[in-house]
Chains A and B, each alone.
Chain A
Amino acid sequence: MSPQVPMEHGMVLAALLFVIGFAGVIIRRDTIFILLSLEVMLNAAGLAFVVAGSRWAQPDGQVMFIFILAVAAAEVSIGLALVLWLYHWHRTVDIDRANSLRG
């Protein structure tokens, strides 16, 4: 059998992508960029699942990936609607402007 990529390397890739996305969430102030970095993190988590599923040749990894995809889709639609609301209220997508509750 030809040599295969070890699972650890796939997990390292997932961890790298996750950390980069996390840095984006923490550092950026533009809400759209925060949502983008969140998508990166979700994608990295899905990659970890698929890598694990491939390791054992089981479809469960891809099944979890499908569910993560559904969660990401629902979250993105609501999140972008909220971004549009934020823009409506404050005329900016700077998330530091949304710093007070009403009343």
Chain B
Amino acid sequence: MIITFYTAAAVAVIATFLVVTRVNAVHALLYLVVSLMAVAVVFLTLGAPFAAALEVIVYAGAIMVLFVFVVMILSMGPRAVRQEERWLTPRAWIGPSILLLVLVVELLYVLVQGASVGHAGRLVGPEDVGRRLLGPYLLAVELASMLLLAGLVGAYHLAYHLGRRTTTKTAGGTT
């Protein structure tokens, strides 16, 4: 389990370094997904399976998808559609695939070995986290939901006005 931690840590650092050094947005996104998966494996080796699941589901599964959508939107128009074909070449998959292969091997190893325990020797699973969330941290949960509501309203507001602008642009609409 110790080797798993260091291998996943190395994959995370390499992938993150490649995220900030890529010129191509799609490449950077792929490497960031790899980095998030690596951090999820690190969570598994630390005895935090709930955090690992959340990392994959929310971070890699929702937030990264938002980025992919925006990159897809912005690649149309002046950034020609030809660039789209240049981005999604099969060669773009080689690097992330190698790193992900390492992670897959590690994940299978962790699954076979059984969950790891953290430094203090106890696995902290979803039930413990849930009890804590709905107990001492209840106020913070409510505040987080308010924050998400604010984000929702803000994003909707921005998108609504952007939509209205782009459809009235030809009519010369002003603010």
Per-residue 0/1 for B48-85: is the Cβ within 8 Å of any A Cβ (1 yes, 0 no)? 10110011001100110011001101100010000000
Chain B residue with minimal CB distance to A56?
B120
B65 to chain A, nearest CB (A): 10
B137 touches A43 (CB 8 A): no
B107 close to A (CB within 8 Å): no
Per-residue 0/1 for B140-169: is the Cβ within 8 Å of any A Cβ (1 yes, 0 no)? 100010011011101100110010011000
A101 close to B (CB within 8 Å): no
B54 touches A69 (CB 8 A): yes
Number of chain A residues whose Cβ lies closer than 8 Å to a Cβ of chain B: 65
User: Which residues of chain A are near B129, meaning CB under 8 Å?
Assistant: 59, 62-63, 66
User: Which residues of chain A are near B25, meaning CB under 8 Å?
Assistant: 30, 32-33
Chain A residue with minimal CB distance to B124?
A59
A48 to chain B, nearest CB (A): 11
B48 touches A50 (CB 8 A): yes
Kindly list the 9 A-B residue pairs having the minimum CB-CB distance in the complex, ordered from nearest: A74-B151, A24-B20, A54-B118, A57-B120, A81-B158, A54-B46, A57-B122, A59-B128, A70-B144
B residues engaging A (CB < 8 A)? Answer: 1-2, 5-6, 9, 12-13, 16-17, 19-20, 25, 28-29, 32, 35-36, 39, 42-43, 45-48, 50-51, 54-55, 58-59, 62-63, 66-67, 70-71, 73-74, 78, 117-122, 124, 128-129, 131-133, 137, 140, 144, 147-148, 150-152, 154-155, 158-159, 162, 165-166
Contact sample, A vs B, 23 pairs, CB 8 Å cutoff: A4-B2, A4-B118, A5-B46, A6-B119, A20-B16, A20-B17, A32-B71, A33-B20, A37-B20, A40-B16, A47-B42, A57-B124, A62-B48, A62-B50, A62-B51, A63-B129, A67-B144, A70-B148, A71-B144, A77-B151, A77-B154, A84-B162, A87-B74
With contacts A13-B9, A71-B147 known, what are 18 further pairs, Cβ within 8 A? A3-B2, A4-B118, A24-B20, A32-B71, A36-B19, A36-B29, A51-B46, A55-B119, A57-B119, A59-B129, A65-B54, A67-B140, A72-B59, A75-B151, A76-B63, A78-B154, A85-B162, A93-B74
